[in-house]
Amino acid sequence: MRLPQRIVQPSLSGRLIGLAALWSFIILLVAGLILFALQRQVTERGFDERLGVYVKEIVADLAAPSDNDRQLIGDLGEPRFDLPLSGWYWQVTRIDPDKPMIKASRSLVGGQLPRLEDMGAEESRGVRKGYIIGPDDRRLRQFERLIDAGEEGRYIIAVSAPADEILDDIRDFRTALSITFGLLFLALVFSTLLQVRLGLAPLARLRQSVGAVRVGNAQRIDGDYPPDLRPLAGELNQLIETNREILDRARTHVGNLAHALKTPLSVIVNEADASPGPLAVKINEQAVLMRDQVNYYLDRARAAALSGALGGVTEVEPSIEGLIRTFDKIYAAKHIDASVEIAGAPRFRGERQDLEEMLGNLLDNAYKWAEERVSVAVERCERDGRPLISVTVQDDGPGLPSAARAEVLHRGRRLDESKPGSGLGLSIVTDLAKLYAGVLTLDEAEGGGLKAILLLPAV
């Protein structure tokens, strides 16, 4: 069964910009549609007024006083009315039942214009307007007017012209308006982006300040913030201070408990040493074991408290170099050749004493079993998007079989009693690494010894 993928939530700035862009698009779209409709009406009205002028001229021709003085009907001064199938047509239809008559422009070449009344166009004050299909299958805009000349008869005067002129004007307007609104939309989105960036800049600075505290580059959140963010910065500083106070109290309690337990154990050991015998040996053995267990669990409790501390950052290189110098002196009789390779300047996200505790146990184990060489390699890496530090400690000792590597990581487990120790070293490293969301793995070294790989969170 395939689990559904997690939906990625957009950022606050992304939501603001997205909503602003959406509303801008909707508003501009509605405004554009309204302007398109208004412009179409204005264009058609202007075109109809132009056709209406020709209709009035034809009406004037019909209203001439006598045949001798009457001008030629349709002499409108527009040459396109005389060009065959030019798209510019006029037609006079007498609708008296007893005297039907149809006169038309030469451009119709014997054809007829359909009546808008037959096409269902509405009449307004004796005028009808609409679109028709002309003799050459061209779309035309037609203007019709009903004239009642009394005894002269009743006429329908129709003038039509190609609708392409209207459509061209509408198309040009739409193109210009679309470009203008498109540029306006981009300008609005850009201005919104600028406003959001500037408006949320204090939040970005606050996030950077919190990150600086988390990685140890700052002790508190500093800076001047707007009034609505200033209380949040103050609460975060108070939280950081409270966290430090809790950690300080935890350190104090752990230290007091350590002193309170170590002193009675030391007294028991001294008394057992002063009274030789089987019972004293047993008491001494158990007291030493109790002291090791107390140290182990106190260190673990201290590490658990410190692993969640804010601002704990430790340079890795100084700690390793100091430990190498220390173990060179402790195991000087073995003449161990120790080599250290550190890539860059890695920093551990945690307490220095915890880092040295883990590295010290690994180096102690390596020096203890090494024949001639011990090597340490440190580099940065990533796992699941998390920055990590990889510390590899190798020796040329006898090593461990694969079945024993997991067993030796258990607390108190020692595979060789010939070497001194309590068997807690590697288990302490494992537990401390887990507290920091790290991991310790054991493998075979290139020379046959043991290779320990410690992964810890990095800054």
Q: Alpha-carbon distance 338 to 355, whole Å? A: 19
Q: Alpha-carbon distance 196 to 151, whole Å? A: 77
pLDDT of 216:
67
Which three-class secondary structure string do you get for the chain? CCCCCCCCCCCHHHHHHHHHHHHHHHHHHHHHHHHHHHHHHHHHHHHHHHHHHHHHHHHHHHCCCCCCCCCCCCCCCCHHHCCCCCCCEEEEEECCCCCCEEEECHHHCCCCCCCCCCCCCCEECCEEEEEEECCCCCEEEEEEEEEECHHHCEEEEEEEEECHHHHHHHHHHHHHHHHHHHHHHHHHHHHHHHHHHHHCHHHHHHHHHHHHHHHCCCCCCCCCCCCCCHHHHHHHHHHHHHHHHHHHHHHHHHHHHHHHHHHHHHHHHHHHHHCCCHHHHHHHHHHHHHHHHHHHHHHHHHHHHHCCCCCCCEEHHHHHHHHHHHHHHHCHHHCCEEEEEECCCCEECCCHHHHHHHHHHHHHHHHHHCCCEEEEEEEEEEECCEEEEEEEEEECCCCCCHHHHHHCCCCCCCCCCCCCCCCCHHHHHHHHHHHCCCEEEEEECCCCCEEEEEEEEEC
Q: Is the pLDDT of residue 306 over 70?
A: no
Q: Is the pLDDT of residue 67 over 80?
A: no
Nearest to 59 by CA among 114, 123, 127, 116: 127
Q: Is the pLDDT of residue 367 over 60?
A: yes
Q: Alpha-carbon distance 233 to 396, whole Å? A: 54
pLDDT of 385:
78
**Mean pLDDT to the nearest integer, 395-400:** 87
Model-level pTM greater than 0.85? Answer: no
Q: Is the pLDDT of residue 138 over 90?
A: no
Q: Is the pLDDT of residue 361 over 50?
A: yes
Q: Alpha-carbon distance 68 to 146, whole Å? A: 25
Q: Which residues contact 349 (CB under 8 A, 6 or more apart)?
A: 215, 216, 312, 313, 436, 456, 457, 458, 459
Residue carrying structure tokens 């694969």: 402
Give the mean pLDDT of the chain. 81
pLDDT of 412:
46
pLDDT of 310:
53
pLDDT of 8:
63
**Mean pLDDT to the nearest integer, 186-193:** 91
* Residue 329 or residue 432, greater confidence: 329
Q: Considering the chain, what percentage of its residues have pLDDT values greater than 90?
A: 22
For the record, the structure tokens of 263 come out as: 């002193």
Q: Is the pLDDT of residue 95 over 80?
A: yes
pLDDT of 142:
92
Q: Alpha-carbon distance 354 to 457, whole Å? A: 13
pLDDT of 416:
44
pLDDT of 305:
56
pLDDT of 325:
92
pLDDT of 217:
73
Q: Considering the chain, what percentage of its residues have pLDDT values greater than 70?
A: 85
Please report the sign of the dihedral spanned by the C-alpha atoms of residue 73, residue 79, residue 84, residue 90. negative
Q: Which residues contact 29 (CB under 8 A, 6 or more apart)?
A: none
**pLDDT tens, 293-302?**
776 666 666 5
Q: Alpha-carbon distance 234 to 236, whole Å? A: 5
For the record, the structure tokens of 311 come out as: 């601002």
**Mean pLDDT to the nearest integer, 254-268:** 72
pLDDT of 298:
65
**pLDDT tens, 16-65?**
888 889 999 999 999 999 999 999 999 999 998 988 898 888 888 776 65
Q: Is the pLDDT of residue 81 over 80?
A: yes
pLDDT of 419:
46
pLDDT of 25:
93
**Mean pLDDT to the nearest integer, 327-336:** 90
Q: Is the pLDDT of residue 289 over 50?
A: yes
**Mean pLDDT to the nearest integer, 91-114:** 83
**pLDDT tens, 207-250?**
888 877 776 677 788 888 888 888 888 888 888 888 777 777 77
pLDDT of 413:
47
pLDDT of 68:
42
Q: Is the pLDDT of residue 411 over 60?
A: no
